[in-house]
Amino acid sequence: MGYTAMQGGLSSIKAAEHLVKARVFGREGRPLDPGEIGEKMSLGVDRVMSEGGLYDPAAASVALVQAEGDLHEASFIVRAYRSTLPRIAYSIPTDTGEMRVLRRITPAFQFAPGGQLLGSTRDYTQRLLDWTLADGGILEEETQEQPSEELDRPQFSRIADILRAEGLLPIPEENPADPDDITRTPIVFPASRSAKLQTLARAETGSITAFAYSSMRGYGTFAHGTIAELRVGAIPMRISHPYTGQPVIVGEVQVTEAEEFTISPHRSLSSEQIEQFALGYGLVFGQNERKAISMAMLDRQLAEGGGAMASQEEFVLMHIDGVEATGFVEHLKLPHYVEFQSILQGMRRRRDRDAAANESKEASLV
Amino acid sequence: MTAQAVVFTPDARQSQEDFREVLECLARPGRLGRVGESPFPLTGARHAYALLRALADQEVSISIDGAEESVARFASLGTGSRLVESEVADYVLFLTDPGDQLAHLCRGELEVPEFGATAVVLVESLASGDRYVVSGPGVPGAREFRMSGISPATLVARDAACAFYPLGIDIVFVDPGGRMVGLPRTTVIERQAD
Amino acid sequence: MSSVQELVAENVSPGHGAYNFGFLDETTKREVRRALLKAVALPGHQIPFGSREMPVARGWGTGGIQVTLSILGPDDTVKVIDQGADEGVNAWNIRRLITDTSGVPTTTDSREASIIQTRHRIPEVPLREGEVLVFQVPMPEPLRMVEPSERKTRAMHAQADYSRAWVHLYEDVVRRGEISHATGYPVMVAGRYLLSPSPIPRWDIPKLNMSEGIYLFGAGREKRVYAIPPHTEVVPIDFEDHPFYVESFAGRKCQKCGSEDVYMNEVILDDGRHAFTCSDSGFCDSRTEGAGE
């Protein structure tokens, strides 16, 4: 015989779990401190919250530790955790004009009311590997000053509102309908704007950056919008009080918000209507500017439609979810020998058939 | 995870059992099944209401036909479902012979035939009465069952509602003793003379 | 009354030491159950559902798991197989999720099971009444081979317009001299809907027709469920001059139990020889046990 079927599935997966856990605990036999991860790897934590669809810095930090730094895996763990949590209440829409702004830039204007607030950004740092960090690092004196929370914050009016007052941007209509909920009802096409925005907001950062980039390089309906405003800050969350019915603040979430002006290529030539900009909108958990900008760009691309890849809603929205994409791509690691046997039989059958046919052809030629 | 506590309330368990039974009944039209009971103002409809409770919640809409407003409100509170007109309801509980009304229920659309309504119909008895023969998917050849309390007009209306498959309505008959019979839209049903 | 409230009432919360029976909350189960009832009433029609994120990866059986956990009760006996095998690592992973959150007994003998969750096989022993087979489905759309757009395939199903699937088969015959479609062979259900049976081999396709048990299909990532009720006509699409046929294991014998009339796994031994064993491990075990008695 010489063949024994593979046994011990359970002991194998338990052993694999053990090996993974050993790596999380490392040589010192203790995992990284999630508190420190939350504080010092906050951009990774923000990404996990955004892609995991759950605003919970503590859970996201633990997930990152558990996943050995794999952002996809950490987002997946957070999603699975999210689906075990009860829905206690639905929040009331927040006007992001209330944002406690930590960073705000307006590339469309050199100066705008409230001014530019550069805040914490790597944009203008030099990307030199700082080897001193490997030795405990060197902290300059000015770095030690913590930014004051009591800062006298200017009022930031929205650039979009300024253009609306000029008649160059349509005034959005109030939509009283409840938004779709893609976590409860699968998206159908054509998709509502709420379903599109939710899908984009939970998307994997790399995927939507790639789609947004493709649109800029020509695989989109228009190449290059203008960012009206990019803001990072904290916004309040309110619910209706269960007894009084009055709005009550239950917490605050940090978000990145991007608004982008575009010019529609589909304008008809009639002059009866004043030509207006259109606004693309992006809002994501935490500080994740490339995702917020990509989301705003794709919001417009999808609204505009057309044949370009980045404008096809089904193509974009069905392929940007990190948990779904990685799950299906990686399922190829599962055994497939039942299927392969069937495929193999077909290949062998056709090989034998064609070989026999060629042989008889040759024989008849002789 | 092995050490985790597992919580399964009696209510949840009853719903699970009722669901499995109605699954068998809709998969095997004409098969006599049993459904549990749930307190209800109309004693004879305790089982029919239990089936409604097993299936309906805040995510769907219901309509209660053949009873006064307070009974409908009771059902709405008990299930958490929105009370709507029967023409647009996902689930309709008929406490009396529905007759022509079946023809007015939601039948779904070609892309979403599943939006067709589910009717839970309280009948006098599924133990005795007229002899019905069903055939179609789920039935090996033909299957018979007995039922009383349903008028010929009800079957005419049901057939009209299911005339354009896949559009249609799906019915579960329940009697005061907790017997139940499923009649999905795919089933052909005929009343037989004894 | 949702389970969450009940859990809170018992002073335990999900995720911190206690799970609802079958992991899913009761609202989620009810949604899946409602979809399943419509699925049996519309044999072969795909019904969207709000597929939840499970602690198992998308594409690794989350649809089947959600179906199983939604229908599961304390009186059930569950069998879980992956590629026909009870011992597979993924089968074990799914089985322990089910048992850890429900405590139900499991079996490897398909005849003892009331619910069988499977990835890509139907057990060799025909289902009986009272048995439910739950398929894990990666791609529920049988028309995906000819049309990538969900919007368009929905319209094609609505109109029962399967002409492009037929053209696809015809082109295959022209190119390869036969219908080469291997696993997941498309079938017509009750003469109305074209259905993807999940990537089961052709060998299993005839078992779908006029079964005694209920077939439920769950696609978690694609968020669809569908069903084939018992005693329902299921026909693989083919041509008169190129009729449907199944894989052949003529002259092969299982190395373990000696069976000849079953779907087999091909294994390559250390010395390079090819050998065959039963794909259905529960069936194989029952044959070897029987021989020992």
Q: What is the pLDDT of residue C17?
A: 53
CA distance linking residue A184 with residue A53, whole number of Å? 13
Are the beta carbons of B4 and C101 separated by less than 8 Å? yes
**Residues C149/A314, Cβ–Cβ less than 8 Å:** yes
Which residues on chain C are in Cβ contact (under 8 Å) with A80? 53-55
pLDDT at residue A243, rounded to an integer? 86
Between C87, C89, C255, which is nearest A3 by CB?
Answer: C255
Choose the mutation target among A336, A341, A347 for the interface with C, i.e. most C CBs under 10 Å: A341
Chain A residues whose beta carbon lies within 8 Å of the beta carbon of residue C266: 337, 341, 344
CA dist A41 and A64 (Å) reads: 10
Q: What angle do CA B53, B55, B58 make, to 5 degrees?
A: 80
Percentage above 70 pLDDT, chain A: 93
Active site residues of C: 44, 254, 257, 278, 284
Strands C193-195 and C187-189: antiparallel
What pLDDT, on the 0 to 100 scale, is given for residue B45?
Answer: 98
**Closest chain C residue to the Cα of B77, Cα to Cα:** C1
Report chain A residues whose CB lies below 8 A from the CB of C14.
84-86
Please tell me what DSSP assigns to residue C258. Answer: -
CB contact under 8 A, B6 and C101: yes
Q: What is the predicted pLDDT for the residue at A147? A: 58
Find the helix packing angle between B10-27 and C62-71, rounded to 10°. Answer: 110
- C74 contacts B24? CB cut-off 8 A: no
Report ipTM (2 d.p.): 0.97
- What pLDDT sits at residue A90? 87
Contact: A350, C177; criterion CB under 8 Å: yes
Q: pLDDT by residue (tens digit) across A161-185?
A: 999 999 999 998 888 888 999 998 8
Count of B-C CB contacts under 8 Å: 144
Chain C 153-212, residues with CB within 8 Å of chain A CB atoms: 176-178, 180, 182-183, 199-203
| A1 has a pLDDT exceeding 50 | no
For residue C233 the two structure tokens come to 């006509």
Give the closest-approach CA distance of C32 to chain A in angstroms.
Answer: 11
Rounded to the nearest 5°, which phi and psi values hold at B121?
-115, 120
Tell if the CB–CB gap between C6 and B27 is shorter than 8 Å. no
Closest Cα in chain C, distance from residue B60 (Å): 9
Say whether C30 and B13 touch across the interface (CB within 8 A).
no
With beta carbons under 8 A apart, name residues in chain C contacting A334: 60, 82, 90, 119
Closest residue of chain A to C267, computed from CA coordinates: A3
* Residue in A214, B53, A117 with CA at minimum distance from that of residue C34: B53
Residue of C nearest to B79 (CA): C1
Closest CA to C42 of C199, C158, C142: C158
pLDDT more than 90, % of chain B: 94
d(CA A78, CA A83): 9
Nearest CA in chain C to A312: C149
Q: Out of C14, C52, C183, whose CB is closest to A339?
A: C183
The string of pLDDT tens digits covering residues A28-63 is 999 999 999 999 999 999 999 999 999 999 999 999
**For residue A91, what are the contacts with CB-CB under 8 A and spacing of at least 6?**
A237, A238, A239, A250
Rounded to the nearest angstrom, the minimum Cα separation between A260 and chain C is 29
What residues in C contact B143, CB-CB < 8 Å? Answer: none
Of C2, C83, C93, Cβ closest to residue A337: C83
Residue of A nearest to C61 (CA): A331
Chain B environment of C26 (Cβ under 8 Å): 12, 15
Q: Does C42 lie at the interface with A, CB-CB under 8 angstroms?
A: no
pLDDT in tens, A308-359: 899 999 999 999 999 999 999 999 999 999 999 999 999 999 999 999 999 9
Quick one: pLDDT at residue A143? 67
In this prediction, residue A224 carries a pLDDT of 77
Could A5 and C256 be called an inter-chain contact, meaning their C-beta atoms sit closer than 8 Å?
yes
Tell me, yes or no, if B4 comes closer than 8 A to chain C by beta carbon.
Answer: yes
Is residue A175 classed as helix, strand or coil in its secondary structure?
A: coil
Residue B25 scores a pLDDT above 50: yes
Contact C53 A334 (CB under 8 A): no
Q: Give the CA distances from residue C165 to residues A308, B179, C21, C147, C203, in Å, rounded to whole numbers and listed in that order.
A: 27, 44, 42, 9, 21
Per-residue pLDDT tens digits for A187-210 = 999 999 999 999 999 999 999 999
- Between CA B90 and CA C34 the distance in angstroms is 10
Predicted local confidence at residue B16, as pLDDT: 97
Q: Does residue C10 sit at the A interface (CB-CB below 8 Å)? A: no
Indicate the residue type of A178.
D
pLDDT in tens, A56-94: 999 999 999 999 999 999 999 999 999 888 777 889 999
Q: Is C269 on the interface with A (CB under 8 A)?
A: yes
- Nearest Cα to Cα of residue B118 among B139, B97, B94: B94
Confirm if C40 and B166 have CB atoms less than 8 A apart.
no
Distance, in Å, from the CA atom of C234 to the CA atom of C164, rounded to the nearest integer, reads 20
Q: Would you state the structure tokens that stand for residue B112, as one six-digit string?
A: 């979403």
Residues 6+ apart with CB under 8 A from C8: A86
Residue A63 near residue A57 (C-beta atoms within 8 A):
no
| Cβ-defined contact of C37 to B165 (cutoff 8 Å) | no
Half-sphere exposure of residue C14, counting CA atoms within 13 Å on the CB side?
25
Over residues A253-282, the mean pLDDT reads 85
CB contact under 8 A, C229 and B17: no
Cβ(B78)–Cβ(B38) below 8 Å: yes
Give the residue from chain B lying closest to C231, CA to CA: B138
Report the pLDDT value the prediction gives residue C15, as an integer from 0 to 100: 46
In chain C, residues with a C-beta closer than 8 Å to the C-beta of A2 are 269-271, 275
Residue from A130, C175, C37 nearest B33 by CA: C37
Whole-angstrom CA distances from A57 to A72, A183, A240, A295 are: 16, 21, 24, 22
Residues 6+ apart with CB under 8 A from A34: A58, A61, A62, A64, A65
pTM: 0.91
Residue C15 distance to chain A (closest CA, Å) = 6
- Supply the mean pLDDT for chain A: 90
Average confidence (pLDDT) over B144-157: 97
Which residues are B6's β-sheet partners? C19
The pLDDT mean for chain B works out to 96
Which residues in chain A have Cβ-Cβ distances shorter than 8 Å to C248?
Answer: 345
Best interface-test mutation with C: which of B14, B17, B18, B20 has the largest number of C CBs within 10 A? B20
Say if the Cβ atoms of C71 and B19 lie within 8 Å. Answer: yes
Provide CB contacts within 8 A for A277, sequence distance 6+.
A163, A168, A169, A261, A262, A263
- Two tokens, residue B81: 């479902």
Q: SS3 of B129, please?
A: strand
Pairing mode of beta strands B82-83, C193-195: unpaired
C-contacting chains (≥3 CB pairs under 8 Å): A, B
A135: how many CB neighbours lie within 10 A of its CB?
7
Question: Using CA atoms, how far apart are residues A324 and A106, in angstroms rounded to an integer?
Answer: 35
For chain C, which residues score pLDDT lower than 70?
1-17, 290-293
Q: Are B158 and B171 in contact (CB under 8 A)?
A: yes
Provide the shortest C-alpha distance from residue C130 to chain A (in Å): 27
Contact between B8 and C36 using a beta-carbon 8 Å cutoff:
no
Nearest to A242 by CA among A42, A35, A88, A108: A88
Instruction: State pLDDT tens for residues B99-134.
Output: 999 999 999 999 999 999 999 999 999 999 999 999
pLDDT at A152: 60
Whether B7 and C42 lie within 8 Å, measured CB to CB: no
User: What SS3 state is found at A222?
Assistant: coil
Residue A4 has pLDDT above 60, yes or no: no
Closest among C200, C85, C151, C48 to A185, alpha carbons compared: C48
CB contact under 8 A, C231 and B4: no
Would the CB atoms of B184 and C33 count as touching at under 8 Å?
no
Query: What average pLDDT does this structure show over A293-322?
Result: 94
Residue C49 burial (C-beta neighbours within 10 Å; 0-12, 13-18, 19+): buried
* C257 close to C287: Cβ distance less than 8 angstroms: yes
Which chain C residue is nearest to residue A9, measuring alpha carbons?
Answer: C89
